[in-house]
Structure 1
């Protein structure tokens, strides 16, 4: 059996800059990946195809796809794309980009103007996909205080229930990060399966594995197959016929060239040729199908029973980074069954018995070295320290507030809600990743410190007993960062002393 898993995620970008890093990142990914991907899946679902893939949507991305500010910004961005197409001096590029922009604008205005939840819920209700959830704001869970880790996961799964009418039982843990004991929290939250990278299972990804003494199943990414598409050094998107991601027409910002060659300067890139790209897609579809077939036979022979192959990728690879990716995906999803390969979701694999012996899973991630160095290494020691500080301050402030009000019924406290919201934003795994990879590191550090500052301001007012000022500050910061409106600090498990008093 073959399972395709896509992980869709961007940090919260609304109201935090536009260019070169900020909302532009969201709108490019939305236009390049989310629109064509959901359109393709809807088309396959309309043909009666089911259980096509497992699709992870992080709560923080889901919030942006439903956010009125982001929806208005996306509509404006699509209109601007169409105008830029009109301004292009290259006729072929102008016509091609105008058609693409017009189609995207029509898709958005027809299906997306009131938010992404309805689009995704249709795919869930038609059984086209298995929806994978995750914790709020994408924290690196192994380094997170257990109470906040528990709260973030439970709230994230509830957020999915609110948006899509279903509470996911599978998750893509942020960064595929795991620490021993996390399976206990997963089981308590109703999670039955989650993703890890292949090396976490010592390369044996031919079946899911129950973790330690739990019934929670870890599925591993098959690197041999996944790296055919995308690896740290190679993969299909680098083929000479595909559109080059890094080369722009400076007058319009549109991409007009093909890769041509890895050592070819941007000024010398050949013009993009859609027919040439389409032929390359067909070759890479055939190569991928044969790779899956070969791997299934190899692994089934090795273990003496039908094997599972899981290929997993960031959704944004398809369309945003690799322009031809969505077309390749659709052709692959059609070609695999035609080749006699059984395709299903991770939940299908679990319920159909593609589960092996328990594994004593160790600390791991899907980052460099497959350990925690990207999120806990020397390069981000300052962020690790900042995260510890803000989490301790947030929990201490909320615990004191709740103890002081212990004699009264606990009512909704918008101050505590915003404290948790800013804390979760501050400890997002994205900031450490961007610093470690030197990808907009300044923006990442600035974002972490902005949320830490917001938390400190609110907590300081609470500590001084200035409730009115604290409420004003919480409301002010909420205008910029008001995602997860259902977040409720009352659901944060109390500290031991508080629990004893209650």
Structure 2
């Protein structure tokens, strides 16, 4: 067997904003169920199918703890089953007006129902554990509620990370050695905290390594490795301005048949009005998948060959995306993904995980990355800019309050656990992102300030010794804290 031209790692990050509100999951469930039906089900079906063929180390997958909780929650599992049935009914209702589309959607919904009933009725964790144990996946962990790490105090950052990694260990049977840091955010010194938590590898965006992403790099004087997204390869699929999903033959995400909620059109053209878009044609879309998968494989092979020629040694390229791109945003994404994973080895490219890349020795010299993220400007402006100055100040206040209310003792205190949970929810990076990008900004501020108000109220009651009143307030929240039942506020303490 000839030596591979190089190594390709696909990293997917599964994350949705925390949907629980006032103790109940249902707020925003449509968003969850759409991603579940159109991305999580088909993507993991691709992995399972390839695994059954004996293929290993297919991709590295991160599922943030807040999403993992939802994918295992009995209420959400029941709701998802109902939603899939509703999808099929919507297809039936559209049959008289859009017969071809209705038939296509009926078959898709029926397939999703079979997948869900066969593999998902006990939640995502059993399925993910099986695929991990089979060697098909490497699972990544992360902080509990997806906070922007550089803005956290070392104590809160360590607590959030430990809570998230412990959650992954409970669900998957092993504590992850790698993480997808929320927003790929990094500040100098964070690697020391990662090392202390047992994290051995994490992801940054390519510019944090000045574009030199051909090898994993030890950070500072630690053995913690930073993997950089290769933007030349990643942006071939999806960038701020272009990528395959915008192709004219793919299903248009933004055009709806409003009576049914189904999507009847193909992209047709970037400047074509919704009412002028052509009907979706699955055969045209399948041809586009084959064409774009072949193009991507050629891009990866050429990139690796060029890197090897430049450095004189085998090289690595890492393409990293939100999982929701594959199926939710880009309807044909799972089919493209399967075609790529099948074709890359045939083209002489080794496909593996981040762990597999380390085991293959694809590690370079140490680096000292600058402050960075994968957001606009590759810096912190999305989470620290003038639009979110109030949230930055709120985060500082919440952290001071949470640390001030911590009281390590011989036993856990459910009230202080509830306070710590609310603090972590208030610190989610999603709120600042949604405000900066003007995507449900009012909702984001309501959530951030609402959780912060709970933290401050509970801290006041506990400081005054009013535990009965504090317990009454927590009971009124209907058990938000139960989502991370292992959370132990005694670990949140000033050092």
Length-normalised TM-score, structure 2: 0.96
CA distance in 2, matches of 1:472, 1:117: 33
Deviation readout 1:148-207 (Å, 9 max, x if unpaired)? 100111111111110011111011000000001110011111111100000000001010
State whether structure 2 residue 186 is matched by structure 1 residue 187: no
* Aligned-pair CA distance for 1:475: 2.9
CA distance in 1, matches of 2:479, 2:161: 24
SS at match of 1:487: coil
State whether structure 2 residue 309 is matched by structure 1 residue 286: no
Deviation readout 1:377-396 (Å, 9 max, x if unpaired)? 11111111111111111111
Identify the residue that residue 264 of structure 1 maps to in structure 2.
272
State whether structure 2 residue 238 is matched by structure 1 residue 230: yes
Aligned pairs for 1:175-324 within 5 A: 175-324=183-332
Identify the residue that residue 28 of structure 1 maps to in structure 2.
34
Identify the residue that residue 93 of structure 2 maps to in structure 1.
87
Whether the 8 Å contact between 2:417 and 2:481 is mirrored in structure 1 is no
State whether structure 2 residue 347 is matched by structure 1 residue 339: yes
SS at match of 1:294: helix
CA distance in 1, matches of 2:357, 2:81: 39
CA distance in 2, matches of 1:99, 1:446: 40
SS at match of 2:327: coil
Whether the 8 Å contact between 1:14 and 1:70 is mirrored in structure 2 is no
- Match among 135, 143, 151 for residue 135 of structure 1: 143
Identify the residue that residue 499 of structure 1 maps to in structure 2.
none
Identify the residue that residue 458 of structure 1 maps to in structure 2.
458
Q: Which moved more, 1:293-302 or 1:226-235?
A: 293-302
* Aligned-pair CA distance for 1:469: 1.1
Deviation readout 1:65-99 (Å, 9 max, x if unpaired)? 01122112211211111111111120011111111
Identify the residue that residue 68 of structure 2 maps to in structure 1.
62
Whether the 8 Å contact between 1:173 and 1:194 is mirrored in structure 2 is yes
Identify the residue that residue 154 of structure 2 maps to in structure 1.
146
Deviation readout 1:212-232 (Å, 9 max, x if unpaired)? 111111000000000000000
CA distance in 2, matches of 1:388, 1:67: 31
Q: Which runs of 5+ in 2 are unaligned?
A: 1-6
SS at match of 1:358: coil
Question: Relative to 1, partners in 2 of residues 1:125 and 1:95: Cα closer, same or farther, differing over 3 Å?
Answer: same
Whether the 8 Å contact between 2:19 and 2:26 is mirrored in structure 1 is no
Identify the residue that residue 4 of structure 2 maps to in structure 1.
none
Identify the residue that residue 434 of structure 1 maps to in structure 2.
434
State whether structure 2 residue 422 is matched by structure 1 residue 422: yes
State whether structure 2 residue 109 is matched by structure 1 residue 101: yes
State whether structure 2 residue 362 is matched by structure 1 residue 354: yes
SS at match of 2:278: coil
CA distance in 2, matches of 1:108, 1:227: 32
CA distance in 1, matches of 2:110, 2:328: 17
Question: Relative to 1, partners in 2 of residues 1:362 and 1:478: Cα closer, same or farther, differing over 3 Å?
Answer: farther
Question: Relative to 1, partners in 2 of residues 1:233 and 1:20: Cα closer, same or farther, differing over 3 Å?
Answer: farther
Whether the 8 Å contact between 1:16 and 1:23 is mirrored in structure 2 is no
CA distance in 2, matches of 1:445, 1:294: 46
Deviation readout 1:94-137 (Å, 9 max, x if unpaired)? 11111111111121122111111001111101000111110100
CA distance in 1, matches of 2:206, 2:390: 30
Identify the residue that residue 83 of structure 2 maps to in structure 1.
77
SS at match of 2:366: strand
* Aligned-pair CA distance for 1:456: 2.2
State whether structure 2 residue 7 is matched by structure 1 residue 5: no
Identify the residue that residue 406 of structure 1 maps to in structure 2.
none
* Aligned-pair CA distance for 1:442: 1.2
TM superposition outliers: structure 1 runs of 4+ over 6 Å? 16-21
Q: Which runs of 5+ in 1 are unaligned?
A: 403-408, 497-502
* Aligned-pair CA distance for 1:465: 1.4
Question: Relative to 1, partners in 2 of residues 1:366 and 1:199: Cα closer, same or farther, differing over 3 Å?
Answer: same
* Aligned-pair CA distance for 1:491: 2.4
SS at match of 2:313: coil
SS at match of 1:69: helix
CA distance in 2, matches of 1:214, 1:480: 37
